[in-house]
Structure 1
Amino acid sequence: MAYFQPKIDMRDGSLAGAEALVREIEEDGTLIPPATFIEALENNGRIRELDLYMLEQVLWQLSEWKSQGMPPIRVSVNISRHTLLDPNALASILAIQSYYPDIPTDRISLEITETAGDIEKTTLSSIIDRFREFGIRFELDDFGSHYSNISIFSNINFDTIKLDKSLISELPDNEISQILVKDIVNICRDFGMSCVAEGVENSWQKEALLKAGCIYGQGYYYSRPLSPAKFEEQYLREPQKKHEKGD
Structure 2
Amino acid sequence: MSVFPNDAKDAEELMRHADVAMYRAKQEGRNRFSFFSHDLESSIRERHQLETCLRNAISHDELFVHYQPKINLATNEIVGAEALVRLVDSEGVFISPNEFIPLAEESGLIIRLGNQVLYKACAEAKSWLDKGCNIPISVNVAVAQFADPHFANIIEKALHDYQLPAELLELEITETALMIDAAEMQTRLYQLKSLGIKIAIDDFGTGYSSLAYLKKFNVDVMKIDMSFIKDMLNNKHDYEIVKTIISLGQSMGLSLIAEGVETEEQRQALLELDCLMGQGYLFSRPLSANDFNAFILQHKVN
Same structural fold, with TM-score higher than 0.5 when normalized by the shorter chain: yes
CA-atom RMSD in angstroms: 1.9
Where 1:173 maps in the other structure, the secondary structure is coil
How many residues are matched? Answer: 239
Contact residue 111 and residue 139 of structure 1 kept, 8 A: yes
Trace 1:120-159 onto structure 2 (pairs within 5 A). 120-159=181-220
- Aligned-partner Cα distance in 2 for 1:200–1:122: 34
Where 2:286 maps in the other structure, the secondary structure is coil
Go from structure 1 to structure 2 and tell me whether the alpha carbon gap of 1:132 and 1:206 turns closer, same or farther (over 3 Å shift). same
Q: Does 1 or 2 have the higher relative contact order (CA < 8 Å, sep 6+)?
A: 1
More strand by share: 1
1:56 matched to 2:116? The reply is no
Deviation >4 Å, runs of 4+: none
User: Following TM superposition, by how much is the alpha carbon of 1:147 offset from its aligned partner in structure 2, in angstroms?
Assistant: 4.9
User: Following TM superposition, by how much is the alpha carbon of 1:25 offset from its aligned partner in structure 2, in angstroms?
Assistant: 2.3
More helix by share: 2
1:77 pairs, out of 139, 146, 158, with 139
- Give the aligned partner of residue 161 of structure 2: 99
User: Following TM superposition, by how much is the alpha carbon of 1:28 offset from its aligned partner in structure 2, in angstroms?
Assistant: 4.6
Contact residue 144 and residue 163 of structure 1 kept, 8 A: yes
- Aligned-partner Cα distance in 2 for 1:115–1:6: 25
- Aligned-partner Cα distance in 2 for 1:153–1:240: 33
1:30 pairs, out of 87, 90, 93, with 93
- Aligned-partner Cα distance in 2 for 1:76–1:141: 11
- Give the aligned partner of residue 65 of structure 2: 2
TM-score with structure 1 length normalisation?
A: 0.90
Trace 1:1-247 onto structure 2 (pairs within 5 A). 1-67=64-130, 69-101=131-163, 103-234=164-295, 236-240=296-300
Question: Rg larger in 1 or in 2?
Answer: 2
Unaligned segments of structure 1, at least 5 residues: 243-247
Unaligned segments of structure 2, at least 5 residues: 1-63
Q: Deviations over 1:170-203 (max 9, x none)?
A: 2123333333322322232232210101111112
- Give the aligned partner of residue 13 of structure 2: none
- Aligned-partner Cα distance in 1 for 2:217–2:281: 30
TM-score with structure 2 length normalisation?
A: 0.74
- Aligned-partner Cα distance in 1 for 2:126–2:71: 22
